[in-house]
C-alpha cells in the first residue's frame, strides 16, 4: 500500500504540472477545451492526494513499521485516536496534510465558482495547482512520508524511498510513539483548525493573482472572495484559541500565550486577514484602497507559507516546532518567487488600481477602517520583528560584538498592548461614523451613549478594586465598544418594534437573519471584547505562589488555601501518572480537592518528556490553576505552583462567540425581497448621516 501512496503523489505531481500548462496556454490562446482539461487536472490531483493521505492514515492505524514515518510517530500502545492524529503530528505527514487540505479547498472553490468567473478561472486554477505542485515537490524530494527504513552495509539505519545498494529492510516491532505534548485532545483538533485557516488563504490569493493578470479589478472578485476569506479566517481564529487552550492546560506555566515563534506564526496571517476583511468593505462601498487590499491578501498568503516554513525548517527553537530539516531552501525559493512575482504583477497594474474616490473627511467610516488597518499592520510588523529577532541578532553577532538574543513575552506585551487598545477603540468607533463625512449632530447622537457607557464601565471597575491605570483604560475602551454594539442592536430592534410591533427577541432575531453580515460582525466584536476582558484580568491581576509542602502542610494563593494531602500513582493507557491530592479552601470554605499530576510515557518518544496535567478549577470570575512541580521521599514532600487567573474563562467564551458570529455572517443570506422589506421596515437603524 505504501508504494501506491508514493505512486499517487508522483502522478499528482505530473498532472499538476500539466494542469498549470493547460490553463495558461488555454487562457492565452483562448482555447476553452484546454482550460477545461486544466480544471479536470485539478480534480485528478485532488483525488490522488486524497488517496495518498488515506494510505498514510491506514499505515498509521495498522502500525506499518516498514515506513520510517510510522516508526517515528506510532507505538504499540498508542490509542487509535492518536494514531490518526499522528498523520499531522510529524514533519512529512503534516506537509501531506497541508497538501490534502489545499486539494479540498481547491476542489470546493473550483466547483463553486467555475460558472461564475469565466475570465478569472484558468488563472485561479493555475495558481492553486502551482501551490499544490510546490508541496508535492517538497513531499517527494525532501520530506517523503512513504520512505522506508533500511539497514545499510555499514550497519547504519536510514530512511530512503528506494533501497540503497546492498541494504536490507529494517525490521521494527514497536515505534517511538507520538510526542507526549501532542497527546492532548486540543493538540489533536488545534492543528486541523490551523491548517483549515492557513491553507484556505490560498483561494483568495489565487483570485487576487487572477484579477491582476486579467485586469478584472472591479468589485466582483472582492465580493466572491469575502466569503472565501471569512471561512478560513474563522478556522484560523478557532485554531489560535484552541492552541491557547492547549498551552493553558498542558504546559503548566500559568498562561495561555507566550509569544512563542510558532504561536506568532499563526497570529501574523490572522492580523492581515482581519485587516483585509475590514478593508474590502471600503472598496465595495467607495471603490477605494484597491492597492491596499491586494497588498493585504498577498501578505496574508505569504505569511501562511512563512509560518509553515518557520514551524518546519528548524531555524527557530520552539516547543511547537519540528526538528531541523532540509526543506528550508525549497520554502525560501518558493517564497522568493511568490513575492517577486506578485510584486511585479502589482506594480504593472498600478494605474488600474487607482481609487475611484478619495477620503472626504477624517471623521468618516472609511478613515476609521483605514486607521484600523494601519494598526493591524503595525502589530503584524512588530510581531514579525520580535519573532525574527533571534535570527537578526545571530546575523549581527557575526560582524558586531553583540550576543545572540531573543525577545520574550514582556517585550511583546509592552509594545503590542497599547496598539491593541487603540485597535479596540477604532473597532468601536468605525460603526458609529457615517460614510464619507460625519457631522457634529451625528457625532453627538452616535457617540454620547457609548462614551458614557465606557466611563461607567471604568468607574464600576474602579469601585470593584481595579486601580492600575492600564486596566482601568482597557475596561473603559471595552465599555465604549460594548455601548456602541448595544446601541446598534437597540436602534435596529426599536425600529422594527415601532413599524412591525415585534417583541424584543423577535426583532433582534429578524435583524440578525436579514442583515447577517452587519450584525454577525457585531457578534464577532462582542466575542473580541470578552477576550479583551480575559486578557486584561489575567495579564494584570494574576496571583502566583510556589511552595514545598509536606503532607498536611498548606500554602496560600490569593483567597485560596491549598493543603497537600496525598500522592498516588495511576496507570494510564500509554503512561504512568503520579497524581497529588490537594485540598482547597476558598475564603475559608472547603471545596472539592484538586488533583494536579505528571505523566511519564512508556514510549521511546516520551521517556525523557514527562508532561504536566494541570488541575484547573474554572469560574466566571477567576480560575484556580495548580501545578505539581516535583516530589521527594516517595511523596512525603512535594513542590507546587499555584496561580489565580482572574476572568480567564471569558477567553474561551469569547472565542465561541466569535465563531458563532462568523457563522452568522457567512450563512446564506436572506432573499433580496426579504432584505428590501427589512430595510423599508427599519429606516432608522444604524448610523444617521449628517
Q: Indicate the residue among 143, 178, 213 that finishes a domain.
A: 178
13 and 149, same domain (yes or no): yes
Last residue of a domain, one of 127, 152, 178: 178
pLDDT surpassing 50 at residue 372 = yes
Least confident residue range of 164-168, 225-229, 444-448, 649-653: 164-168
Closest CA to 159 of 66, 88, 227: 66
Chain centroid offset of residue 144 CA: 26
552 and 490 co-located in one domain? no
pLDDT exceeds 80 at position 365: yes
549 in a domain, yes or no? yes
Q: Which of 101-110, 124-133, 300-309, 665-674 has the lowest mean pLDDT?
A: 665-674
Residue 565 pLDDT > 80: yes
Q: Which of 214-218, 502-506, 508-512, 582-586 has the highest mean pLDDT?
A: 582-586
Q: Are residues 669 and 530 in the same domain?
A: yes
The answer to whether position 29 is within a domain reads yes
Q: Say yes or no to pLDDT of 460 above 60.
A: yes
| Res 608 pLDDT > 80 | no
Model confidence at 62, in pLDDT bands (50, 70, 90)?
very high
Least confident window among 3-17, 385-399, 609-623: 385-399
Angle (nearest 5°) at CA 310 between 179 and 85: 30
Q: Is residue 47 part of a domain?
A: yes
Distance CA 555, CA 562 (A): 5
CB 382 within 8 A of CB 423: no
- Lookup: cell for 96: 501531506
Strand 622-632 to 589-594 pairing: unpaired
Pick from 314, 316, 229, 233: which is nearest to 267 by CA? Answer: 233
Are 628 and 485 part of one and the same domain?
A: no
- One domain for residues 614 and 624: yes
Q: Looking at 113-117, 145-149, 365-369, 471-475, which range is the least confident one?
A: 113-117
Residue 338 neighbours by CB under 8 Å, 6+ apart: 301, 302, 305
What does the pLDDT look like over 422-459, one tens digit per residue? 999 999 999 999 888 888 888 899 999 999 999 999 99
Specify if 375 maps to a domain. Answer: no
* 408-424: average pLDDT: 92
Domain count, the chain: 3
108-127 residue pLDDT tens: 999 988 888 788 899 999 99
The residue segments making up the domain with residue 527 are 440-539+652-681
Q: 467-471, 566-570, 602-606: which has the minimum mean pLDDT? A: 602-606
- pLDDT confidence band for 323 (50 / 70 / 90): very low
Identify the pLDDT of residue 514: 82
Residue 218 within a domain: no
Summarize the confidence of residues 625-650 as an average pLDDT: 94
**Rounded mean pLDDT, 213-239:** 87
Q: What is the pLDDT of residue 681?
A: 45
**Residues 218, 122: contact at Cβ < 8 Å?**
no
Clarify whether residues 10 and 122 are in a common domain.
Answer: yes
pLDDT in tens, 486-516: 999 999 888 888 888 888 888 888 888 888 8
With pLDDT > 70 as the criterion, what percentage of the chain qualifies?
Answer: 93
Residues 67 and 40 in one domain: yes
In a domain, 199, yes or no: no
Q: Mean of the pLDDT values across residues 159-175?
A: 82
**Is residue 386 in some structural domain?**
no
Q: How confident is the model at residue 214 (pLDDT cuts 50, 70, 90)?
A: very high
Q: What percentage of residues in the chain have a pLDDT greater than 90?
A: 57
From 103-112, 113-122, 663-672, the region with the lowest mean pLDDT: 663-672
Residues 597 and 666 reside in one and the same domain: no
- Do residues 468 and 591 both lie within one domain? no
3-state secondary structure 417-446: HHHHHHHHHHHHHHHHCCCCCCCHHHHHHH
- Judge if 618 and 480 occupy the same domain: no
Residue 666's pLDDT band (cuts 50, 70, 90): confident
pLDDT at 273: 95
Last residue within a domain, chosen from 178, 210, 241: 178
What is the crossing angle of helices 220-250 and 185-200, to 10°?
A: 160
Residue 294 lies in a domain: no
Residue 7 and residue 135 share a domain: yes
pLDDT for the residue 606 = 54
Taking Cα atoms as reference points, which of 620, 582, 583, 613 lies closest to residue 599?
Answer: 613
- How much is the pLDDT for 356? 74
**CB burial readout 130-152, b (16+ within 10 A) else e:** bbbbbbbebbbebbbbbbbbbbe
Judging by beta carbons within 10 Å of its beta carbon (0-12, 13-18, 19+), is residue 333 exposed, middle or buried? exposed
Q: Are residues 28 and 122 in the same domain?
A: yes
Cell (9 digits) for 399: 560582524
The average pLDDT across 551-559 equals 94
Determine the 3-state secondary structure of 663 from DSSP: helix
The answer to whether 325 and 312 have CB atoms below 8 angstroms apart is yes
Distances (CA, A) of 631 to 193, 578, 580, 597, 641: 37, 10, 10, 11, 12
- pLDDT band of residue 321 (cuts 50, 70, 90) is very low
Give residue 679's pLDDT band: very low, low, confident or very high (50, 70, 90): very low
**Sorting pLDDT into bands at 50, 70 and 90, what band is 611?**
confident
Say which range, 64-68, 331-335, 497-501, 577-581, has the weakest mean pLDDT: 497-501
Q: Which of 83-87, 161-165, 384-388, 596-600 has the lowest mean pLDDT?
A: 161-165
pTM over 0.85: yes
Amino acid at each position: 500500500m505504501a508504494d501506491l501512496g508514493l505512486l499517487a503523489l508522483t502522478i499528482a505531481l505530473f498532472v499538476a504540472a500539466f494542469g498549470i500548462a493547460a490553463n495558461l496556454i488555454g487562457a492565452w490562446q483562448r482555447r476553452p477545451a484546454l482550460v477545461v482539461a486544466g480544471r479536470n487536472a485539478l480534480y485528478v490531483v485532488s483525488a490522488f492526494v486524497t488517496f495518498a493521505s488515506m494510505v498514510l492514515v491506514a499505515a498509521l492505524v495498522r502500525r506499518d513499521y516498514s515506513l520510517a514515518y510510522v516508526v517515528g510517530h506510532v507505538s504499540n500502545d498508542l490509542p487509535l485516536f492518536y494514531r490518526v492524529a499522528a498523520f499531522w503530528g510529524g514533519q512529512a505527514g503534516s506537509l501531506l496534510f497541508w497538501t490534502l487540505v489545499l486539494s479540498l479547498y481547491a476542489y470546493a472553490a473550483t466547483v463553486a465558482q467555475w460558472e461564475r468567473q469565466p475570465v478569472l478561472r484558468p488563472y485561479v486554477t493555475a495558481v492553486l495547482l502551482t501551490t499544490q505542485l510546490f508541496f508535492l515537490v517538497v513531499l517527494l524530494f525532501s520530506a517523503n512520508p512513504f520512505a522506508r527504513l533500511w539497514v545499510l552495509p555499514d550497519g547504519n539505519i536510514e530512511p530512503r524511498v528506494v533501497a540503497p545498494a546492498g541494504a536490507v529492510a529494517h525490521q521494527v516491532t514497536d515505534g517511538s510513539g507520538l510526542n507526549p505534548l501532542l497527546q492532548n485532545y486540543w493538540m489533536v483538533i488545534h492543528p486541523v483548525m490551523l491548517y483549515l485557516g492557513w491553507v484556505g488563504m490560498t483561494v483568495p490569493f489565487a483570485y487576487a493573482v487572477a484579477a491582476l493578470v486579467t485586469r478584472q479589478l472591479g468589485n466582483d472578485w472582492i465580493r466572491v472572495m469575502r466569503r472565501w476569506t471569512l471561512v478560513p479566517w474563522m478556522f484560523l481564529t478557532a485554531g489560535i484559541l484552541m492552541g491557547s487552550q492547549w498551552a493553558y492546560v498542558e504546559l503548566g506555566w500559568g498562561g495561555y500565550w507566550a509569544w512563542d515563534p510558532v504561536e506568532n506564526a499563526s497570529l501574523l496571517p490572522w492580523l492581515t486577514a482581519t485587516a483585509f476583511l475590514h478593508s474590502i468593505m471600503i472598496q465595495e462601498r467607495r471603490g477605494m484602497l484597491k492597492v491596499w487590499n491586494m497588498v493585504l491578501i498577498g501578505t496574508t498568503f505569504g505569511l501562511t507559507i512563512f509560518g509553515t516554513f518557520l514551524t518546519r525548517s528548524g531555524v527557530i527553537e520552539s516547543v511547537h516546532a519540528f526538528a531541523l530539516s532540509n526543506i528550508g531552501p525549497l520554502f525560501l525559493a518558493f517564497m522568493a518567487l511568490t513575492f517577486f512575482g506578485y510584486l511585479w504583477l502589482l506594480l504593472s497594474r498600478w494605474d488600474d488600481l487607482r481609487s475611484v474616490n478619495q477620503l472626504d473627511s477624517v471623521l468618516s467610516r472609511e478613515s476609521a477602517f483605514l486607521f484600523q488597518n494601519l494598526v493591524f499592520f503595525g502589530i503584524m510588523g512588530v510581531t514579525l520583528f520580535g519573532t525574527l529577532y533571534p535570527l537578526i541578532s545571530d546575523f549581527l553577532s557575526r560582524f558586531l560584538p553583540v550576543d545572540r538574543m531573543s525577545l520574550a513575552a514582556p517585550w511583546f506585551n509592552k509594545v503590542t498592548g497599547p496598539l491593541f487598545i487603540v485597535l479596540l477603540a477604532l473597532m468601536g468607533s468605525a460603526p458609529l461614523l457615517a460614510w464619507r463625512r460625519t457631522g457634529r449632530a451625528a457625532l453627538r447622537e452616535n457617540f454620547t451613549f457609548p462614551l458614557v457607557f465606557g466611563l461607567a464601565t471604568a468607574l464600576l471597575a474602579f469601585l470593584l478594586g481595579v486601580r492600575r491605570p492600564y486596566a482601568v483604560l482597557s475596561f473603559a475602551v471595552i465599555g465604549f465598544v460594548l455601548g456602541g454594539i448595544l446601541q446598534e442592536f437597540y436602534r435596529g430592534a426599536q425600529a422594527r418594534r415601532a413599524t412591525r410591533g415585534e417583541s424584543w427577541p423577535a426583532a433582534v432575531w429578524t435583524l440578525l437573519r436579514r442583515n447577517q453580515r452587519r450584525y454577525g460582525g457585531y457578534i464577532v466584536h462582542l466575542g473580541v471584547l470578552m477576550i479583551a476582558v480575559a486578557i486584561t484580568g489575567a495579564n494584570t491581576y494574576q496571583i502566583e505562589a510556589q511552595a514545598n509542602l509536606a503532607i498536611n502542610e498548606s500554602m496560600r494563593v490569593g483567597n485560596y488555601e491549598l493543603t497537600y494531602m496525598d500522592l498516588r500513582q495511576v496507570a494510564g493507557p500509554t503512561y504512568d501518572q503520579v497524581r497529588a491530592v490537594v485540598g482547597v479552601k476558598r475564603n475559608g470554605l472547603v471545596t472539592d480537592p484538586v488533583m494536579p499530576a505528571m505523566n511519564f510515557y512508556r514510549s521511546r518518544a516520551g521517556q525523557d518528556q514527562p508532561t504536566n496535567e494541570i488541575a484547573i478549577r474554572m469560574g466566571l470570575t477567576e480560575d484556580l490553576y495548580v501545578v505539581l512541580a516535583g516530589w521527594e521521599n516517595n511523596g512525603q514532600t512535594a513542590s507546587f505552583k499555584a496561580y489565580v487567573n482572574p476572568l480567564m474563562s471569558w477567553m474561551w467564551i469569547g472565542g465561541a462567540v466569535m465563531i458563532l458570529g462568523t457563522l452568522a455572517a457567512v450563512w446564506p443570506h436572506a432573499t433580496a425581497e426579504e432584505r428590501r422589506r427589512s430595510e423599508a421596515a427599519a429606516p432608522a437603524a444604524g448610523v444617521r448621516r449628517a
